[in-house]
A and B are shown apart, each in its own frame.
Chain A
């Protein structure tokens, strides 16, 4: 079943076309990668899917848990998150001054049914919801070995752990589709390997579909079921990792073509 598709979305900033005619189709439980040189429009594509930008043209369509296809173009990012799309950011956006624990608890807020008044009075139905959230958060933090560090402020964690914390925070929203924006950026080969295993693990454990932007080709080729390649806002290729590796346009986009002087 298709979980997300875009019917030729386009994003224009003034005179610059950042992304044009992007057609993406992601099946449930797939890991799909979006690659391309810097400035190709990958993060812009993510921002259109998660509602930070509204596409200049075209629509983003998402199939919700009941199997209904809904148009999410123009919806608020918070509503899109509630539908089950979570994301991480290229340049880590944790709540820096808050504790590790609070960072993840905040992601549980979107499913809270109790209103602020019953929350402030700590009424039983609010407490019951909180206890359930606390149990889930404890489990999540333990899965990435951050439980011991839960009282630390997010900014004081080492870089690699901040990346993990951001993924765990996204997981706490109970997503069906997880968008990872360069999860391995700045990681050494060993950390990248661990991350690969971690992504595979969470996909199985939470029945996730994963759509990721990544520059580490080893990681991408290893983990992806399919790959889309962007260059200057255009989709220049799509297919299995093997097909992408052999694609001449992809090679020329990454390595440049020889020109006669």
Chain B
């Protein structure tokens, strides 16, 4: 009964959000559309990163590299063939790919698959490492990917980047991808495989003794993470309309690290909340960048860059008081929401859940 009710509620919520996406697409200005799109793309990449870092407990910092692969797949395959000579003016495109043109959705999947393949190859040496070593190794590989892209002149146009990517402004299109990724990851986490990932996070030795093949499962999580990061990167490229190796510096990864730490490592709904807070929050804090006068007195601190100070202070407060992020490893569920609506003060009396 409750299961069926929850499914119906989820379908209603998704339909409602899709309707909202529709409304935003046609009824609002391009500035708001852009923020909403960016939120959703960041949510996809945040979710992908949470799969390895949050659920499987492998601290990987390679997301920017996998995004770059997806972004370049979109850049290479979706630019109209007629425009390519003007884009690749320094050196013509390699003849093997010069005539291949794909619709965006296909380029996204191709990009995702390429990223997963690279993750598979990188995973063999890297996933034997643990903790900080894994972080450093994945960070290094992410830079290697970027540098290879910068130097593959006839395929990626090198340091010049690729422009004239048909721009994507449709909120509904990105929403559909975000919803699909969200549903797939939620479904996967709630299967036996998801439990195996969490077991690896909790205790590798015990997981192994219970028959979970560590390397196989870490590799699976890493490849899935790369696949979704590739799709996210592709959407990001389509949103920007250009790709450039400098977009994918390793510092980009920290945005997503911030999102998942803020939302809660190991929480899907946490990643969604984190991506909205970080992306939209940074935009709405822009009022602090404008000079402000109160009762004829100019407040001295209000100047460009001040919002980052406020943002950092908010972050510090959040991490100090909610050490495990907003959601921790918990999830938003209908059961809890309904219980909350029936008894809003019940959450204060709940035992066992809010400890630690």
Contacts and interface: CB of A to CB of B under 8 A. Distances in A.
B214 A93 contact: no
A52 B203 CA distance: 14
A93 B206 contact: yes
Interface string A153-193: 10010000000000001100100000000000000000000
Contact of A105 (B188, B195, B202, B209): B195
A128 interface: no
Contacts of B210: 81, 86, 106-107, 109-110, 169-170, 173
Contact of B199 (A106, A111, A152): A106
B106 interface: no
B208 interface: yes
Contacts of B203: 93-96
A251 interface: no
Interface stretch (A32-40, A112-120, A203-211): A112-120
B198 A95 contact: yes
A152 B355 CA distance: 12
Contacts of B147: none
B198 A98 contact: yes
Contact of B208 (A77, A120, A126): A77
Interface residues of B, number: 26
A62 to B, nearest CB: 15
Interface in B185-201: 187-188, 191-193, 195-196, 198-199
Contacts of B205: 52, 77, 89, 93
Contacts of B195: 98, 102, 105-106, 109
B109 to A, nearest CB: 14
Contacts of A226: none
A79 B220 CA distance: 18
B212 A106 contact: yes
B209 A109 contact: no
A175 to B, nearest CB: 10
Contacts of B207: 95, 106
A190 B202 CA distance: 31
A138 to B, nearest CB: 16
30 contacts: A52-B205, A76-B208, A77-B205, A78-B208, A78-B211, A81-B210, A81-B211, A89-B206, A94-B203, A94-B206, A95-B198, A96-B202, A106-B196, A106-B198, A106-B199, A106-B212, A109-B195, A109-B196, A109-B199, A109-B210, A109-B212, A116-B193, A119-B188, A120-B191, A121-B187, A130-B191, A130-B192, A133-B192, A152-B352, A169-B210
